[in-house]
Amino acid sequence: MPRVPQPIGSTAPAAVTGRAATTGQANVTGLHPRTRLHIVTGKGGTGKTTVAAALALALAGPDRRVLLVEVEGRQGIASLFGSPPLDYTELLLAESGPAGRVHALAIDPEAALLEYLELFYKLGPAGRGLRKMGAIDFATTIAPGIRDVLLTGKAYEAVRRRDRDRRHVYDAVVMDAPPTGRIGNFLNVNAEVEHLARVGPIHSQAASIMRVLRSPQTAVHLVALPEELPVQETADAVAALREIGLPIGAVVLNGITVPRLGPADVAAAADGSLGVAEVRDALAGAGAGGTADDPAAVASVRALANDHARRLQTEAGHRDTLLALGLPVAELSRLAGGMDLAGLYGLADSLGGQLQRWRAAASSQVQAS
């Protein structure tokens, strides 16, 4: 996997802070070698915007251009990169070498509608006049589904866009999508439009978007925390996406606890059988000989070990639940110091290695079929 690019005006961090990811036995058909549109969703608070940004960095490299798209207007991407607020202009966020770049934009439904009217109906100044009349606000407010049509349509346009030499302008497009609770309706809105508009350019556009969304060009990735509600919502979203025929890529299990104990010690600490002598030996080995002779300190360490071990066991159960979905599962560790640019690059490096293995497995499946 190529080295991730550097943010504009900054230096790439020397240390990688993300934990190496792991992969279970999984069907990786949602990460086809032709996948170019990566849609990232997750329950609110799981870190989906951070994962989307890290994935965009991981996909970029020498001679590769990636577009990172925000559709909710929260400016989370700008905050992560320390950039000015995003708008409908494709802003260069990071670069590596002469051609490896990450661009980003926030899709504005009004601007997208004007672009759509110009593209299909050649309205030009008349379309801009609609903005002054408030017709665009009226359309997107009275018919909320129109917003989703425009948001997905812009991502579709970016995936298909080509330069004068007929090469794709972007090698990959990463969308920071709505949460799992509405991701199915968001991505399937064009199927509804296609059904309602039986003929004409609206029907054709909606049908074209759904062909891309249901093809190997697209993968929907789901971000979860190792907690009951996010894991359950992820499982529900996977079922909903499968029902409407959308290709699922991977689950990213975010905020995993870094193990501080070996497997045998985890089991002993969890059931309370971790011996006092073992704790004293560990403290002495860590250079805390005086503390090792303090019964209160030893008891405190045993209690901390018990909490840590129980947390690891709980997370292992949530991991097993996600692996049972039959999807690749990446693990990203909780960053002790909070998220910063170095942490983002650590996550990108971890996801990059995992993506490389997933794609190799997907290529093998395609060749064998």
Domain of residue 340, CATH code: 3.40.50.300
Would you say residue 283 lies in a domain? no
- Assigned domain for 271 exists: no
pLDDT in the model for residue 142: 52
91-96 vs 100-106, strand pairing mode: antiparallel
Taking the C-alpha atoms of residue 222 and residue 304, their distance in angstroms, rounded to an integer, is 32
Q: Does 186 fall in a domain?
A: yes
pLDDT average per 10 residues of sequence, the chain (369 residues): 51 37 40 87 95 92 90 90 90 75 88 69 60 59 70 91 92 96 92 77 84 94 96 97 94 91 80 71 56 70 83 94 94 83 87 77 67
**Rounded to an integer, what is the distance from CA 330 to the centroid of its chain?**
11
Tell me the C-alpha distance between 230 and 236, whole Å: 10
The answer to whether residue 198 sits within a structural domain is yes
Contacts for 346 with CB less than 8 Å, ≥ 6 apart: 13, 15, 16, 17, 18, 335
Does residue 266 belong to any structural domain of this protein?
A: no
Q: What CA–CA distance (Å, rounded) separates 340 from 140?
A: 36
Model's pTM, two decimal places? Answer: 0.83
Residue 113 lies in domain? 6-259+316-364
Q: Give kind and range of the element (H or E) at residue 238.
A: helix 228-243
Closest among 300, 281, 354 to 19, alpha carbons compared: 354
Reduced to 3 states (helix: H, G, I; strand: E, B; else coil), residue 265 is: helix
What sign results for the dihedral spanned by CA atoms 121, 122, 123, 128?
Answer: positive
Tokens representing 295 are 């019964």
Assigned domain for 245 exists: yes
Q: How many domains in the chain?
A: 1
Residue 281, in any domain of the structure: no
Six-digit token string for 268: 């002993």
In a domain, 278, yes or no: no
